[in-house]
Amino acid sequence: MKNAKITGKTKLIDALRGNPNAAEILFNAGMSCIGCPMAMQETIEDGCLAHGMSRKQIEELLKRLNKK
């Protein structure tokens, strides 16, 4: 998944594989579940919504995840 755009439908595990900074970005955004085996099959959008993030917050997170 390297260099592929990360979207809300991207699974957390793929985002972690595709961006070496993804774990820190997700953790700083309040996604402390990134180490949970069950969360690895969840999409970024599903995880964000489960953590009470708004659509605007999700879009901002996706921008940070895709920043080169």
- Which tens digit of pLDDT belongs to each residue from 1-59? 556 899 999 999 999 888 889 999 999 998 877 777 777 789 999 999 988 999 999 99
Torsion angles phi and psi, residue 55, rounded to 5? -60, -40
51 Cβ neighbours under 8 A, 6+ residues apart: 30, 31, 33
Closest to 64 (Cα-Cα) out of 10, 28, 33: 28
What global pTM score does this model have?
Answer: 0.86
pLDDT value of residue 52: 93
Question: What are the structure tokens assigned to 23, written together?
Answer: 């774990």
Q: Tell which wins on pLDDT, 60 or 68.
A: 60
